[in-house]
Amino acid sequence: MIPANAAPLAIALLGLLLGMRHATDPDHVIAVTTILSREHRLVVAARIGVVWGLGHTLTVLLVGAAIIVFKIAIPVRLGLAMEFAVAVVLIMLGVGAAASLMRKAATRMRASLSEQEGLVVHAHAHAHGGAMHLHSHVHVVSQENTDDAMHHDHRISADRLPPFAARRPLLRSFAVGLVHGLAGSAAIALLVLSAIPQPLWATLYLVIFCVGTIIGMGLITTAIATPFMVVSRRALWIHQGLVTGSGLLSFGFGLFLAYQIGIVDHLFSAAPIWIPQ
């Protein structure tokens, strides 16, 4: 027989473990993978996962607690629309990754053409009013300055970026976490309420569940980011392939979700079908 004082501990442990498992849902993993695939520091990648978890926690606590405490019913169409927003975010992340690679390819192509003409083009990163700008300049390659021109380094470290530019991946991760939390909050709250009918204990469980999600996402992003970091330092073309693959996966999975929710679950028809899960 389990002692009475062991019940809260069991609830807390269950909530923590289920929260960590919730972080491994495919849409969560794909979203953060697409965001962190372009990062080159493990600490920043882990921070992206934690910030995603914080955004997820905010909406889950606000919406989930309201459902548990006030017994609010989420309309079917609204529930489907919140899940459809996740599909849209995944598609946008995939398009963003593809656009970034296309910009890099265009920059390399311009640099290659310039080198063929005896010129080397470099781009300086400058901050004006908190916004980043790239200012290009040209080096004329001669016998005397070939090495200097070719090895002229204008890379800017993350520590020298203005605050907004340095935090842009974190803000993106937080926003994506908000959307994912909004989509999953109703299902999580209804599941908790069915298992723990007392509002106080159910809300406490929800908080612990969210803490588990933050921890789980931090661990997952660290594990996912490690091979990206190793490959980016040893084989740039493989890293670019992984970035492209993560973007395509995000785009494809987003399209699949959009089709599933919009067509199969009849979001845009007169009789939508929504089963929170």
> Structural domain tally of the chain?
1
Torsion on CA atoms 195, 199, 202, 208, rounded to nearest 10 = 180
Which tops the pLDDT comparison, 47 or 186? 47
pLDDT, tens digit, for every residue of 160-192? 444 544 567 888 899 999 999 888 887 888 778
Could you tell me if 213 and 24 are in contact, meaning their C-beta atoms sit under 8 angstroms apart? no
Residue 32, in any domain of the structure = yes
Whether 205 is covered by a domain: the verdict is yes
User: What element of type H or E holds 187?
Assistant: helix 163-195
For residue 73, the model assigns a pLDDT of: 81
| Per-residue pLDDT, 124 | 54
More reliable by pLDDT, 47 or 148: 47
- The reply to whether 110 falls in a domain is no
Confidence of residue 111 (pLDDT cuts 50, 70, 90): low
Q: What pLDDT score was predicted for residue 130? A: 44
Q: Write the DSSP assignment of 82-148 as a string of letters.
A: HHHHHHHHHHHHHHHHHHHHHHHHHHHHHHHHHHHTTEEEEEEEEEETTEEEEEEEEEE--TTTHHH
| Any domain includes 39 | yes
Sign of the torsion angle spanned by Cα atoms 123, 124, 125, 127: negative
52 assigned to some structural domain: yes
Burial class (CB within 10 angstroms; exposed 0-12, middle 13-18, buried 19+) of 5: exposed
pLDDT tens string 218-234: 999 988 888 887 777 77
In this prediction, residue 125 carries a pLDDT of 54
Both structure tokens of 164: 């907004």
Residue 157 falls inside a structural domain: no
Average pLDDT over residues 79-89: 93
| Predicted pLDDT at 110 | 67
Spatial separation of the C-alpha atoms in residues 217 and 56, rounded to whole Å: 10
Rounded to whole angstroms, the Cα distance separating 267 from 153 reads 52
Average pLDDT over residues 242-251: 88
Cα separation, 37 vs 244, in Å, equals 9
Structural domain harbouring 14: 9-98+174-264
Q: Is 276 a member of any domain?
A: no
Please give the pLDDT value at position 116. Answer: 56
153 lies in a domain?
A: no
